[in-house]
């Protein structure tokens, strides 16, 4: 008995020492050699994963830039140079910024812990960018840095040319913390293993520590008791028998961790009687599917382009396709940023501006379970985890078709070391048999007319795996001037363990907060909201927002056989509050962004309209703490005057924020927006009541909205495009006759 106790004590002591070693290993140290460049294609567990279990950490070494499957010319990121004012920071620039930061007085104490939460381009003033032309010198390059040093968060700017560092702490919000670093997430996921009570509880639930995987879950904000410390909650799962450990939660076990010290602050186990769901039928990997059970429902399909794609990517970030041109880059927080989108006028040949900048500003994902282990699950995936940081390499032929062009992202670790997010974005042409326009004349006219045109589009795609959930974000450009923004949801449900194996076992009055999907598995009801920032510049920066309402009019007695008809009533929003929109089916409107200073030949102001879809709205109380933080979902459409400091709908520092720096707060100022440089914000919403078809992995569900020309062109801009002819198309022979 004494030997057994000694062995257990030694095992716990060893586990604590091991975890402390790994936490120490993840703390930032002096920068390594400037040539160090991590490539996430081969160092994936360092760069990608936010889910960890006890295993050997990857070595931090110099990695070559070999990226299998990339269809474009491979580039050596270590030698990249900026060619455009909006190009992201290069590896060389990041290394210069890191050197400047770490030699600043704030970092003079080499023993003080620090972390660089973000290093990104401090974009030049919009006016400078708009005046710049290719071949001109670039405006001065500056970096924006969010740092944690000696327990305090600082916002800094660095002049990359001179190395001068400026402290701009006036930009630090009153509450909240910046986006977590990958090192934060990694270390937090290890922290519970230093707690003997946690270890014994896990083993007591029948799970080996070596089979335990843990997730770092942002806490939200629920009152003064959570202030003063950067906190995170950690929940764990069993990996035994499946890669899909999300389906095997150790339900009710929650560990509260101090993110700065990695100390366990609190420990709760409310589920000791809830069994761990079985691993059977949860794995989704094709390599494990028995050959006799494979579902070969369709023959392989691919779009072939013998002459190659119709688009080019110049200088690394400028995309030109058909009648479109835009700047494209990866961003650690937003994922994908599209800038200076312009479309060619078919009459004049002029490249006309449509949008200065667009990106995913924030995601809000509240779960609808108020119990102790679930109430706090109200995630903001961009501001808390980094939407771009969670982006995964796209899989050629499956995530993106043949002839796709792949673009990398270059981000920074917490010590400022640059690393590569390989194949983060893909660009490809899509043809799904859709029709651009058509008309067939009826035989009764005696005219034999058959005219149809195919619709080919250009897609820019990114996919982020934020732990269990996968988000696919597409920017789709059409030759008729339309831009479609689409979000697809896939991946794995965050499920709840339950003692019930069948709906018939559940007492009549018990609220499961979801759906029983399999034995001992509940898919919890939740929402997804994705808010986009759209700095529209329709033929110039000064634009107006117009609500075009459809109103029913009554005819006068004897005026017409009709009793009623619809009339379009245009109202120009003069201030922010007049532009706020809650979509209503029985109060239909169109929403136009126009340039009142530019008119068509018949006098209509040129413009684009927002065509809504994905219109699920939040039903939470406005004073519910999660909704205060997610108040940017109170409306589907907002319009604000351009302000370069207002880009993140949930605020600059989202983590544990109290909601005092959100889009909803800014708009309370009710600033003038008529004939001003304005930004439109649109939120796609999804209500998700899980169903058995979502188990063990979800088929993708998508929603989109459009930015569509309205009186922007003088007529149909694709009127003169040719139809397809057989002689112009590649001939593909069936495999049997090839």
Task: Answer yes or no: 469 catalytic.
Answer: yes
Terminal CA-to-CA distance of the chain, rounded, Å?
74
CA angle 621–624–630, rounded 5-degree value:
90
Q: Which of 419, 469, 533, 608 is catalytic?
A: 469
Sign of CA dihedral 722, 728, 734, 735: negative
Task: Quote the tokens at residue 396.
Answer: 């050629």
Q: Is the peptide bond before 326 cis (omega within 30 degrees of 0)?
A: no
Specify whether the CB–CB gap between 696 and 244 falls below 8 A: yes
Structure tokens at 265: 């602050």
Parallel/antiparallel/unpaired status of strands 165-167 and 589-599: unpaired
Structure tokens of 724? 């397809």
**How does DSSP assign 88-104, residue by residue?**
PPPHHHHHHHHHHHHTS
DSSP state letter for 400: B
Centroid of chain to Cα 701: 16
Q: How far apart are CA 438 and CA 435, in angstroms?
A: 7
Q: Which helix (H) or strand (E) holds 149?
A: strand 142-149
The C-alpha angle 69, 66, 73, rounded to 5 degrees, equals 60
Query: Of 685, 619, 681, which Cα lies nearest the Cα of 648?
Result: 681
Can you tell me the distance from the alpha carbon of 535 to that of 353, in angstroms, rounded to the nearest whole number? 11
Q: Find the catalytic residue in 39, 80, 331, 381.
A: 381
Handedness of CA 483, 326, 462, 656 (dihedral sign): negative
Mention every residue, 6+ apart, whose C-beta is less than 8 A from residue 498: 251, 274, 512, 516, 520, 521, 522
Q: Tell me how far apart the alpha carbons of residues 642 and 342 are, in angstroms, rounded to a whole number.
A: 19
Distance (Å, whole) CA 459 – CA 467: 25
Beta bridge partners of 710: 607
Catalytic (active site) residue 331 = no
Q: How far apart are CA 244 and CA 248, in angstroms?
A: 8
For residue 460, the cross-strand partners are 427, 475
Q: Is 500 helix (H, G, I), strand (E, B) or coil?
A: coil
Could you tell me the two tokens for 593? 């962004």
The three-point CA angle 636-638-640 to 5° equals 165
> Measuring CA to CA, how many Å separate 57 from each of 60, 194, 210?
9, 17, 14
721: how many CB neighbours lie within 10 A of its CB?
Answer: 17
Starting at the earlier edge strand, list the strands of the sheet with 495-497. Answer: 495-497, 521-524, 514-518
Instruction: Judge residue 105's burial from the number of C-beta atoms within 10 Å of its C-beta, 0-12 exposed, 13-18 middle, 19 or more buried.
Output: exposed
- List residues with catalytic annotation: 381, 469
């Amino acid at each position: 008995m004494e030997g057994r106790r000694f062995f257990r004590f030694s095992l716990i002591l060893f586990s604590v020492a091991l975890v402390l070693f790994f936490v120490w290993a993840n703390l930032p140290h002096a920068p390594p050699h400037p040539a160090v460049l991590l490539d996430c294609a081969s160092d994936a567990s360092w760069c990608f994963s936010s889910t960890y279990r006890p295993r050997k950490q990857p070595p931090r070494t110099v990695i070559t830039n070999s990226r299998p499957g990339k269809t474009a010319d491979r580039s050596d990121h270590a030698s990249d140079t900026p060619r455009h004012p909006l190009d992201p920071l290069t590896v060389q620039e990041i290394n210069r910024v890191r050197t400047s930061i770490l030699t600043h007085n704030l970092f003079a104490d080499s023993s003080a812990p620090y972390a660089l939460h973000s290093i990104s381009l401090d974009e030049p003033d919009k006016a400078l960018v708009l005046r710049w032309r290719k071949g001109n010198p670039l405006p001065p390059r500056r970096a924006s840095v969010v740092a944690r040093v000696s327990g305090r968060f600082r916002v800094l700017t660095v002049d990359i040319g001179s190395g001068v560092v400026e402290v701009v702490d006036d930009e630090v919000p009153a509450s909240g913390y910046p986006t977590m670093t990958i090192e934060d997430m990694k270390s937090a996921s290890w922290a519970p293993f230093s707690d003997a009570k946690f270890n014994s509880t896990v083993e007591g639930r029948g799970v080996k520590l070596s089979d335990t995987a843990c997730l770092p879950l942002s806490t939200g904000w629920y009152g003064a008791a959570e202030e003063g410390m950067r906190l995170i909650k950690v929940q764990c799962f069993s990996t035994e028998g499946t890669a899909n450990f999300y389906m095997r939660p150790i339900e009710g076990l929650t560990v509260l961790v101090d993110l700065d010290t990695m100390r366990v602050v609190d420990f709760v186990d409310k589920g000791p009687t809830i069994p761990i769901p079985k691993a059977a039928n949860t794995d989704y990997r094709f390599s494990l599917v028995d050959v006799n059970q494979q579902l070969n429902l369709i023959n392989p399909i691919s779009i072939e382009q013998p002459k190659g794609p119709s688009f080019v990517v110049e200088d690394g970030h400028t995309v030109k396709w058909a009648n479109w041109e835009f700047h494209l880059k990866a961003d650690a927080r937003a994922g994908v940023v599209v800038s200076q989108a312009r479309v060619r006028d078919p009459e004049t040949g002029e490249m006309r501006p449509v949008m200065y900048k667009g990106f995913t500003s924030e995601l809000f994902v509240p779960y609808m379970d108020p119990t102790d282990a679930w109430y706090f699950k109200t995630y903001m995936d961009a501001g808390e985890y980094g939407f771009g940081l969670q982006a995964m390499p796209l899989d050629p032929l499956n995530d993106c078709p043949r002839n796709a062009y792949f673009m990398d992202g270059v981000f920074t670790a917490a010590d400022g070391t640059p690393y590569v997010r390989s194949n983060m974005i893909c660009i490809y042409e899509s043809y799904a048999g859709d029709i651009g326009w058509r008309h067939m004349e009826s035989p009764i006219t005696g005219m034999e007319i058959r005219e149809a045109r195919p619709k080919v589009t250009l897609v820019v795609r990114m996919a982020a795996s934020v732990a269990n959930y996968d988000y696919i974000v597409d920017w789709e450009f059409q030759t008729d001037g339309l831009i479609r923004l689409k979000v697809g949801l896939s991946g794995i449900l965050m499920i709840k363990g339950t003692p019930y194996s069948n709906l018939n076992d559940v007492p009549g009055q018990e609220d499961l907060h979801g759906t029983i999907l399999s034995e001992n598995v509940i898919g919890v009801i939740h929402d997804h909201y994705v808010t986009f920032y759209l700095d529209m510049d329709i033929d110039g920066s000064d634009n107006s927002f117009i609500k075009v309402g459809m109103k029913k009019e009554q005819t006068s007695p004897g005026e017409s056989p009709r009793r009623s008809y619809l009339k379009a009533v245009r109202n120009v929003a003069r201030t922010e509050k007049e532009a706020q929109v809650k979509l209503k089916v029985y109060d239909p409107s169109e929403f136009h962004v126009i340039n009142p200073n530019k008119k068509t030949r018949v006098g209509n102001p040129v413009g684009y309209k927002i065509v809504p879809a994905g219109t699920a709205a939040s039903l939470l109380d406005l004073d519910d703490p999660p909704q205060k933080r997610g108040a940017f979902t109170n409306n589907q459409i907002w319009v604000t005057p351009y302000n370069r400091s207002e880009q993140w709908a949930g605020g600059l520092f989202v983590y544990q924020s109290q909601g005092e720096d959100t889009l909803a707060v800014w708009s309370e100022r009710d600033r003038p927006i008529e004939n001003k440089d304005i930004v439109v914000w649109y939120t796609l919403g999804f209500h998700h009541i899980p169903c058995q078809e979502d188990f063990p992995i979800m088929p993708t569900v998508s929603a989109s909205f459009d930015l569509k020309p309205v009186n922007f062109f003088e007529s149909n801009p694709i009127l003169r495009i040719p139809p397809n002819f057989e002689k112009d198309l590649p001939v593909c022979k069936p495999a049997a006759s090839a």
